[in-house]
Structure 1
Amino acid sequence: MVHYLTNEPPNQDGGAEQPLFLRVAAAVENDIIAGTLAEGERVPSTNEIAAFARINPATALKGIAQLVADGIVEKRRGVGMFVTPGARAALLARRRAEFADRYLTPALDEARRLGLDHADVIALIAAKDQP
């Protein structure tokens, strides 16, 4: 079975995988958050991304265009794309704001279904946090 919009197989959650251009954008965002791409640094060209990921350059361009629209990357005519000042802080703020809805809410819903209270959940988190 495939997802009717993306023609991709469903993932483990039953939904379709994220579109490829969004995965390109997320990979660049992850590099910015990790410090691999610093603010002011040149982002790999769409042709470099396409060659590395073995994807269509138009798909890579769409992913980078999304980052431009989000203000994470800026286009410098004739020079390339560069990480904007404040991009890392903006990405961290956005991801922190999304964290509870994306990860905690589903986990707490499942904990309630299992009859776990707050103390149980905190104990599980503490146990998983140990090396």
Structure 2
Amino acid sequence: MKGPFDQDKPIYIQVRERIEDQILNHQLKEGDQAPSTNQLVQFYKINHVTVSNGVNPLVDEGILYKKRGIGMFVAEGAREKLIRKRKELFVEDYVVKLVHEAEKLGITENEIIQSIKNVKGRGAE
């Protein structure tokens, strides 16, 4: 778990994304117990309702499951579900916008690909 929240996004979404990130980064694996609502409330010093609004959709989507009286656990196949979901969101949030802007500016597909390669190459320095 990490510290302060970004002011540009609702906190409950950030709570959800942090749990998702822990699953994607293998910090939480299938069958592992996820932090409880109470632990998240105490760690982040935020309202119970805010935490529940972040966690409950993960339960609804089958990413986490609850064992009454014990806690929440990472469901089987959770990581794969999250990867699929995040890839779809990536295309919608980034690729679609990139393609539309490139079309407006007359940037070709090859120029886009070359730009991506250049940016990736800078990251390796």
> Normalized against structure 2, the TM-score is what?
0.85
Q: Which has the higher contact order (CA 8 A, sep 6+)?
A: 2
Query: What CA distance in whole angstroms lies between the structure 2 residues aligned with 1:36 and 1:77?
Result: 23
Which one of 59, 64, 71 corresponds to residue 73 of structure 1?
64
Query: What CA distance in whole angstroms lies between the structure 2 residues aligned with 1:93 and 1:34?
Result: 15
> Which protein has the bigger helix share?
2
> SS of the residue aligned with 2:69?
coil
> SS of the residue aligned with 2:35?
coil
Q: Which residue of 2 aligns with 1:30?
A: 21
RMSD: 1.4
Q: Which residue of 2 aligns with 1:56?
A: 47
Letter paired with 1:124:
S
* Deviation at residue 19 of structure 1 after TM alignment: 2.6
* Deviation at residue 90 of structure 1 after TM alignment: 0.8
Q: Deviations over 1:70-128 (max 9, x none)?
A: 11100001110000011001111111222211110101111122221111111101101
- Listed as ranges, the gaps of 5+ residues in structure 2 are 1-6
Percent identity over the alignment?
34
> Normalized against structure 1, the TM-score is what?
0.82
